[in-house]
């Protein structure tokens, strides 16, 4: 059962990774990069590493996404001027 | 064409390097160092969470290095984005009712959870880094709901410097009172599994949590306030 969940999570992560690279919309690309981290944190939890899972969920899918979104909004503001 | 061949060669090279790793099964047997940690770790350091005793005490110097890396990253962000905009808050849209009500309900719980994570780092999964990041994400929620929220950057950097300073002081105390730098046995180990146990680990993790939290809040505040 756990093997199936791990395989499904891995497949979704690979799809999200390709979306993050080939997506034209930058905000959507950043969010799919965040999805990779979120699924990776579930994977760590299944592999009995809750310490790493906490860090990955909070930093990878929370703070990094927000930092990227701030950067994108700054770049757009610069372009608009 | 040449570029493609080079890319292909690099991929094949990495495949050759990585392929032997597939045969190694890490769950098969432990290395001698890991065996020693698992056998003696709980008795030596009194921490119920073995990961914590490795991260804070056995590999405490590495943790100090990680904290230094985070500090340098914060300093770099603060240096590059130091220009402040004066009338930034007025132009922004007000946040929605759902977000502001949800924030006022959730933020105290998130803060409490973050403090719980780093004070119980020696008993349950988590620790200073995780707790600090959870607190920073609570502050992020506050920032999103209240666009005119101001940060006292001086206070943040003072908190951060003092917790880093005391972390080093505890490390040096370990040099004199116990086995070595960052040794947690400068206080009594207490009863195994209690909150006041494992010597200096709860204090070190609380200092780390405060330090990491204030650093990340500083990064977020600098990003928002910069031009």
B16 in a structural domain: no
With 90 as the cut, is the pLDDT of residue A60 above it? no
- The B-side interface with A (CB below 8 A) comprises 51, 117, 125-127, 129-130, 133-134, 136-137, 140, 216, 219-220, 223-224, 226
Confidence of residue A15 (pLDDT cuts 50, 70, 90): very high
Q: What angle do CA B98, B100, B105 make, to 5 degrees?
A: 95
CA distance to partner chain A, nearest, from residue B176 (Å) = 31
pLDDT for residue B10: 94
Q: To the nearest 10°, the Cα dihedral for A58, A59, A62, A63? A: 140
B156 in a structural domain: yes
- Selection from A44, A66, A14 nearest residue B138 by Cα: A66
B155 in a structural domain: yes
B52: nearest CA in chain A?
A51
Q: Mean pLDDT for each consecutive 10-residue tract of chain B (227 residues)?
A: 91 88 71 80 76 82 87 85 60 78 90 88 82 88 81 82 86 78 74 73 86 87 75
CB contact under 8 A, B136 and A51: no
Prediction ipTM score:
0.79
Percent of chain A at pLDDT > 90 equals: 21
With 70 as the cut, is the pLDDT of residue A7 above it? yes
- The A-side interface with B (CB below 8 A) comprises 50-51, 54-55, 58-59, 62-63, 66-67, 70-71, 74
- Within 8 A of A66 by CB-CB distance, chain B residues are 140, 220
* Under 8 Å between Cβ of B115 and B132: no
B181 in a structural domain: yes
Q: What angle do CA A30, B110, B79 make, to 5 degrees?
A: 55
B192 in a structural domain: yes
* Under 8 Å between Cβ of B70 and B212: yes
* Domains contained in chain B, number: 1
B110 in a structural domain: yes
* Integer Cα distance of B36 and B38 in angstroms: 6
- Selection from B134, B133, B132, B142 nearest residue B107 by Cα: B142
B70 in a structural domain: yes
State mean pLDDT over A17-39. Answer: 90
- Selection from B77, B170, B178, B189 nearest residue B128 by Cα: B170
pLDDT for residue B156: 83
B27 in a structural domain: no
pLDDT for residue B86: 56
> Domain span at residue B55?
45-82+96-225
User: What value does the CA radius of gyration of chain A take, rounded to a whole number of Å?
Assistant: 15
């Amino acid at each position: 059962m756990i093997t199936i969940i791990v395989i499904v999570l891995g497949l979704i992560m690979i799809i999200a990774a390709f979306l993050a690279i080939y997506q034209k919309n930058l905000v959507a690309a950043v969010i799919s990069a965040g999805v990779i981290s979120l699924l990776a944190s579930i994977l760590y939890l299944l592999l009995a590493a809750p310490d790493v899972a906490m860090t990955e969920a909070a930093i990878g899918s929370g703070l990094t996404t927000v930092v990227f979104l701030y950067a994108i909004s700054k770049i757009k503001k610069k372009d608009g001027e | 064409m040449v570029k493609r061949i080079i890319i292909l060669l690099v991929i094949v090279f990495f495949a050759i390097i990585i392929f032997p790793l597939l045969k190694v099964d890490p769950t098969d047997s432990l290395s001698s160092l890991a065996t020693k940690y698992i056998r003696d770790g709980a008795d030596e350091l009194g921490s119920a969470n073995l990961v914590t005793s490795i991260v804070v005490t056995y590999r405490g110097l590495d943790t100090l290095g990680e904290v230094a890396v985070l500090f340098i990253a914060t300093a770099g962000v603060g240096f590059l984005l130091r220009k402040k905009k004066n009338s930034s808050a007025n132009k922004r849209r007000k946040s929605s009712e759902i977000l502001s009500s949800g924030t006022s309900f959730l933020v105290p719980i998130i803060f409490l959870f973050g403090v719980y994570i780093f004070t119980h780092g020696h008993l349950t999964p988590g620790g200073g880094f995780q707790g600090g990041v959870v607190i920073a994400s609570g502050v992020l929620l506050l920032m999103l709901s209240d666009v005119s929220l101001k940060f006292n950057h001086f206070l943040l950097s003072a908190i951060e410097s003092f917790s880093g300073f005391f972390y080093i002081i505890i490390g040096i105390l370990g040099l004199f009172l116990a086995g070595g730098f960052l040794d947690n046995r400068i206080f009594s180990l207490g009863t195994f599994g209690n909150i006041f146990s494992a010597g200096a680990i709860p204090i070190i993790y609380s200092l780390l949590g405060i330090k990491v939290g204030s650093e990340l809040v500083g990064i977020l505040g600098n990003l928002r306030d910069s031009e």
